[in-house]
Amino acid sequence: MATGAILAGGRSTRFGDTDKTIADLAGEPMIRRVANRLAGHGEAVGPGADHASNVESVVDELIINCRSDQRDSISTAMSGYPLSVSYALDDQTDLGPAAGIRNVCRAADGYVAVVACDMPFVDPRFLEYLLDHAGGHDAVVPQLEDGWYQTTQAVYRATEMAAAVDRAIEAGEHRIIAPLEYLDWTVIDRETIHSISGEQTFENLNTRAEFDTAAERIEQERSWRGQHNPFEAIRPDDWSRVRRFQQ
């Protein structure tokens, strides 16, 4: 297995005065919802509901990247988590997600499965696929339909990625894709993504309105699953009952 990592050092500027990392999402702090899915202790919510709840973890430890002023509140949110948790604090803040990835990679060995803290629908089976297909590469990065490389739900070889980010920052380049120039990396294309999961695994929440919409969908799926086998895949003709919630 590998190390899981959650990036939580952003400023949540579109969310308001509070840190969205620990904001309540359908009864659970968002970062804990993400972490629980990696550990197989999450709620049976799609995509990958049968891989998110009451199953073996896809990682064997968790590293959280955050600012020092976030650590206490995140530690509270992570109380009782079933895996070992450590923290990779930002020594310099506001350098962007590439620096956050570097910091978790500095604290890890082997491969690291990275997820942003605002992706509460991350599909564990998709992360497992990325880990299984690292195949000696330094990075495995999904590419979305619009051509965007989803570097905040990807897998990296820790030592090589940390060094690549350092090289990019030293060159004055802070774009999140810049370190890939220095790596042997492979792409997971849209067709493969959809054969395993779907682009909902990458959905990120930035505003209170997006939180409210996501919470409503979770509640609707809870209601649906309460009347069915909780791990049963929701059929296409049932989605009208959960307001087009896409698995």
Residue 13 in this model has a pLDDT that exceeds 70: no
Quick one: which H or E segment has residue 102?
A: helix 97-106
- Asked if residues 70 and 19 have their Cβ atoms less than 8 Å apart, the reply is yes
- Least confident interval from 12-21, 83-92, 95-104, 223-232: 223-232
| pLDDT tens-digit map of 73-87 | 999 999 999 999 999
Task: Report the amino acid identity of residue 15.
Answer: F
| pLDDT tens-digit map of 34-76 | 999 999 888 878 888 777 777 889 999 999 999 999 999 999 9
The number of folded domains in the chain is 1
Say what the pLDDT of residue 242 is. 41
Residue 228: pLDDT band (50, 70, 90) is low
Strand partners, 65: 7, 88
Say what the pLDDT of residue 156 is. 98
Residue 231 in this model has a pLDDT that exceeds 50: no
- Sign of the torsion formed by the C-alpha atoms of 135, 141, 145 and 147: negative
Cβ neighbors of 92 (< 8 A, separation 6 or more) are 99
In a domain, 239, yes or no: no
- Asked if residues 3 and 59 have their Cβ atoms less than 8 Å apart, the reply is yes
- 244 against 203, higher pLDDT: 203
Q: In this structure, what CATH number is given to the domain that contains residue 107?
A: 3.90.550.10
In a domain, 225, yes or no: yes
Question: What phi, psi does 61 have (nearest 5°)?
Answer: -160, 165
Cβ neighbors of 141 (< 8 A, separation 6 or more) are 149, 150, 151, 154, 180, 185, 186, 187, 188
Residue 229 in this model has a pLDDT that exceeds 70: no
Q: How far apart are CA 187 and CA 11, in angstroms?
A: 29
In a domain, 240, yes or no: no
- Asked if residues 52 and 126 have their Cβ atoms less than 8 Å apart, the reply is no
| Mean pLDDT of the 125-132 span | 95
In a domain, 247, yes or no: no
Residue 247 in this model has a pLDDT that exceeds 60: no
Radius of gyration of the chain (CA): 17
Q: How far apart are CA 108 and CA 88, in angstroms?
A: 10
The helix/strand/coil state of 2 is coil
Least Cα distance to 226 among 242, 205, 243 occurs for 242
The structure tokens listed for 180 are 């890939």
In a domain, 210, yes or no: yes
Q: Which range of residues forms the domain containing residue 11?
A: 3-234
Residue 12: pLDDT band (50, 70, 90) is low
Q: What share of the chain in percent tops pLDDT 70?
A: 88
Q: Is the peptide bond before 47 cis (omega within 30 degrees of 0)?
A: yes
pTM (two decimals): 0.88
Say what the pLDDT of residue 246 is. 39
